[in-house]
Amino acid sequence: MLLTSLTTFVGLIPTILDDSVQGQFLIPMAVSLAFGILFSTVITLFLIPSFYLLAESGIDRWKAFWAWYLRKPEARKGGLNFEQVGHG
């Protein structure tokens, strides 16, 4: 993906830098295509995996919270249950 994006961007550079009258109407299209490809590559390679990592750790934290919350109140406090010890 990275090499394809880079070669597309590099291939559009001559069109972007063209100064002929015939090529002037293609320059805005080439600029938007080239920088759109670079932007989407950065988003795809860095931002999306970061979101997946955050979502995965968030789900793990959510599960850990509910596992802690749904335990008996004595277990949550960390205190002793006197019925189990034999004093009640």
Q: What is the pLDDT of residues 40-80, one digit of tens each?
A: 999 999 999 999 888 888 888 888 888 888 876 666 565 55
How do the domains of the chain map onto residue ranges?
2-77
Question: What is this structure's pTM?
Answer: 0.59
| Cα distance between the two ends of the chain | 68
